[in-house]
Structures are given as C-alpha cells and as structure tokens.
Structure 1
C-alpha cells in the first residue's frame, strides 16, 4: 500500500502532468471523483503541487516599460493606493518580489540574500517548495558594536532556506569593520574565505535598497552601525543610501568612499557578475538611493511601487 504522500503525488502526476481527467483517475483507483478532487486540493496545500504564473509574462504597464527602457532592467510596477501606509506599500511590493525571486530558483540554485527590512517581508511571501541541492548564502555581514545582528539576518536566511529545503550558509562578520586592515586580514581566514567562495557561485541574488536620511532612514543608518562623525562625513560625501550595505551616491559612484573599504557586502561590480539580481524597493524616501543603485548596473530585476516608479522617471 502506498504511503499517503506517494498516493497524492501519483494522483497529481496523472492529473497535472499526464492530462487525465478526475473521472479517469477515480476509475483507476476505484474511488469517487470527489476523493480525487480532495487529493488534488491536498497536493496544492501540502506543496506537492505548486501552481504559479511566470512573472516575466506579467503584462507591463507604461511605467514599467519606461523604467525598463531607461535603466535596462526587467521591471514590475506594483499599483498601490496613494494613501497606503509605508508598510502596506512594502508588503505589496514584497509579495510580487517573492514571485519574481521564486521564479528564478531551480534545483541546484545558489541564492544570495542580503538582509534588510524589505527582504524580510519578501521572505514571508515565499511559498514552501523543497528542491534538490539549493544553497542559500548570506551576502553581507550584520553585526555592529552594539549587537551581533545574527538574529535579524539569521531569521531572513533561515526563512528562505526553509522554503526550498536548502543548505544555509551564514556570513559571520560585522556589516562594517572598524578598520579596513581588519577586513583584509579576515578575508584571508579560511572560514571566511569559504563563505566568500560560495558567494562567487551565486546565480540569484535578492536585496533591497537602504536610504540615508529622509523620513524613514534605513536600519543601517540608525541602528548603531555608524557614529555621529561618520554620518556627518557620509552626508558631506554625498552618500544617499546603500545596496547590500555598500554605500553609494545618487550618480552611482561608490569606489572612492573610504567607508566602503570596511564594508562586507558585495560591490555593485561584484553583484553584476550574478546572472539574476532581484531588487525590491518601496517608499518615496528611497528614490535617490534606488536611482544610484540602478546606475551601477547591479540590478537585473526591479520590483517597485507605482509612486516610487514615478519619482524614478522625474529626472
């Protein structure tokens, strides 16, 4: 006698893959059509069957097409009521970003995850879909002088890994070292070098955009990662935000910012070597940082709310 999961799988295979009708399947197993219908419902609920739409075929509105033409990225613009709260905007963007990211994941994928508030929301909308040989690796360190950051980044990484039944690889370093020389020394340590080697094999990356200043500054800028003097210097240097905790200006430049010599996230140039780079962003306060990130060429797939999309196209 088959165990229940095997039974459900066989019924689902006959219906979805071989095109048999419920009546034909019911006759084969000598059960009622209603029983087959319930089994197919269970197959979807338990993740044995996953039905999805390929986000790349989502009809593009005019805004999305303009962003695609200007910035040379795949774009999804999420319609959100203008009066919606910031968290509602983020959640709606996160739901679509989860679809886009999930459509990129196949057996053997190596997914790179950069922690952040938006990515936290994206992870919540991923539907469980165990796959073979998937690896999920943390792209940027999370700790600072006040806390390790591991619970925050670990929750995100764990959530994505659980979705795919994947191997999970942490990156146990701070978001920013106190000294560039310390980073250089740590990069030679075998335990860290091993993680860096996995990062170089990533084929799908997921990240958000951090905003420096504005009504809602991102966690990097108000979570104890920088002191007052550092924040003042960054402002004077024209920093508008970050991508994977790598600071940048609105024009997309970043290489001459000395703080980046201490940053542990991948540079835009390193990100650009990854085949698919999914970025989710919401909120007007992120427009300068997102514009800078787009100008680096680090993004291939952008999911953004309509209000932010309009602002992106204003200049």
Structure 2
C-alpha cells in the first residue's frame, strides 16, 4: 500500500481488484496520476493513449473496487466526521467538535473558546446583531476572538459574580465590541435579585431597558449551557439550598442564560424566573441562531433539553461530550 497526505486528503492505492494483473496495473497507474500527481483526465488519456471516457471509467473502477481509498481529514483539532454526525443527529445549524482531552477543564475551555471564536468570525456578517450571555466558555471565546465583522453587541443577561470568576457579562460584551468595532449595549445589574419587584424596577432602568429593547433584533447569540447540579451551573451554585431543592422538584434539568427548562426543553416557571434580569425563553427561541459552547459529560441531558426546547441551534463542544450526546439521543 502506498499513501500520501496532501492537505486534507489521504489517498491509498492498494491491491485487491477482481480484474487481471494488467488491468490492475493500468488502473493503479491511472489512479496514481490523477489522485497523487494531480494530472488531469485529458493529460492521463494522452499519456496512456486512452480516451477520456476510458480514464473516467478506470477511476470509477478504482474507487468502487477499493483500489483507491480517500479519507477526509483535518489538519487541526476539529473532528470533522464527529462534527457532521452530531449536527445530523441533533438537527443543528452548525456544529464544531474539537478532539481535545477533557482531563483539564481550563485547557478544554480555552480550546473550545478558540474554536467558537473561529466559528463566530466565519459566520457573523455586518448585517448581524450579536447577543452575548455570560458563561465561562463565552468568556474564553471573547478572549480568543481576534477579528469580527462590525456589528452591535448586546448583553443578554445580568452579571453573576462568583468565587474564581474574574470577569462578568459586562466585560465580555465590551471585549467583543472592541474587537468588532461596533456599539456595545451593556448594563450594570445582577442576573438575579432578591424579589420580583426589584427585578421589575431594574428592568425599567434606562441602560437595562436600552439593552433589552434591542434583544428582538439579535440574529446570532452565544451562550453556555448549565446542568442543574452542583458545579455544573453558575446560577445553580448561586442559589440557596431551598431554591435548588424546589427547582429540582419542578423538574429543572438545564439552565441556558438564566432560562430554566425541564428534560423536554419546556421552560419552568418559578419564583427565580420572576427575579431574573435577562433574556426570556420566548426571546431566545426567536433568535435565528443561538450557539452554545459546552463541555463536560455531566451536561448531556442538559444539552439535549436545550436543543429540544429550541433554545440552542448550534454547538461547539468536545469529542467525549459529542459521542455521549449521540448515544443518548439514539437511546
């Protein structure tokens, strides 16, 4: 067997044809010229004194008989095949799966942030309006982002400061807007407040109302997905034990930008919902594309809930979680 790697294509020419040796040698020679040497069918026809149609038939025979095998790969850390499988399995708009070890969460988050930054750079056009929710993965994306079309950037959730977290949704919006060179719509308010009356008053504040009035214009958004479990959601860790228990009793499985949903993706109404400062489930579903950056196999059911509920349309994740999602979706 002879192999050569040129960019994304690996071509192997090997024995095993059902034809006689002369035909085998001719077919292999034609295949080598075409796939490995980059010769045109016309050039090959002239060299071997064949018609172009004969060359085409030999190339077809080489592929169908297994004499030539073409494998599509990728020079980077993106698992192209797994990305396509997950996208098809979950019916996603876009999907990027990185082949990154998941034994170091900080490193994994950094790799996913870089992959999400590349995806956003590719997808966002000057006609878009970008919305950002806070999550550590979204913060990693903002750090990795080097260029972006000139678009408005809108804060979708209030700030949630926790131990070990050195930035907030405000800084993330500012950083991305600085790269994009467009206007930034941000506000100083927490993600959750003690009571519904305070939440209503804060939503009427000029800077909050200014940002929220533009949520309906958002065409692409980036968010994280949290599982309703310890250390799997920053919001979960910020709530009281009584609240966690009550929301668990109500069937909360996932949290996406402060929106609480059950295993089927149905929003769960609660006292906490009334106290949130951020995008609603209806508003999130109305965004044409919500890209979620997610890591950790503990979030399998949470991710599926977010997709089922129409709150997430595209994913940036890693191979271990992608394979687990495909298995769980299949079962």
Taking structure 2 as the reference length, the TM-score comes to 0.68
Partners of 1:296 and 1:241 lie apart in 2 by 11
Aligned length: 249
4+ runs deviating over 6 angstroms = none
Segments of 5+ residues of structure 1 without an aligned counterpart are: 1-57
What are the equivalent positions in structure 2 for 1:248-259 lying under 5 Å apart?
248-259=261-272
Contact 1:268/1:297 (CA < 8 Å) preserved in 2? no
Tell me whether 1:268 sits opposite 2:281 in the alignment: yes
Tell me whether 1:102 sits opposite 2:105 in the alignment: no
Deviations 1:79-113 (A, max 9, x none): 1235x312222222221111111222222532111
State the partner residue of 1:119. 138
Root-mean-square deviation over aligned CA pairs: 2.6
State the partner residue of 2:13. none
Tell me whether 1:142 sits opposite 2:155 in the alignment: no
Contact 1:140/1:171 (CA < 8 Å) preserved in 2? no
**Cα displacement (A) at 1:71:** 2.2
Distance 1:198 1:207, change over 3 A: same
**Cα displacement (A) at 1:267:** 2.8
Structure showing greater Rg: 2
State the partner residue of 2:319. 306
State the partner residue of 2:199. 183
State the partner residue of 1:230. 243
What is the aligned counterpart of 2:176 among 145, 160, 177?
160
Contact 2:121/2:147 (CA < 8 Å) preserved in 1? no
Q: Aligned to 2:293, what secondary structure does the other structure show?
A: strand
What is the aligned counterpart of 1:197 among 204, 207, 213?
213
**Cα displacement (A) at 1:178:** 2.2
Taking structure 1 as the reference length, the TM-score comes to 0.71
**Cα displacement (A) at 1:140:** 0.4
State the partner residue of 1:219. 234
Deviations 1:34-81 (A, max 9, x none): xxxxxxxxxxxxxxxxxxxxxxxx8841x3333323322122221123
Partners of 1:299 and 1:71 lie apart in 2 by 10
Partners of 1:143 and 1:59 lie apart in 2 by 33
Contact 2:296/2:321 (CA < 8 Å) preserved in 1? yes
Tell me whether 1:76 sits opposite 2:96 in the alignment: yes
Structure showing greater relative contact order (alpha-carbon pairs closer than 8 Å, 6 or more residues apart): 1
Contact 2:157/2:169 (CA < 8 Å) preserved in 1? no
Segments of 5+ residues of structure 2 without an aligned counterpart are: 1-77
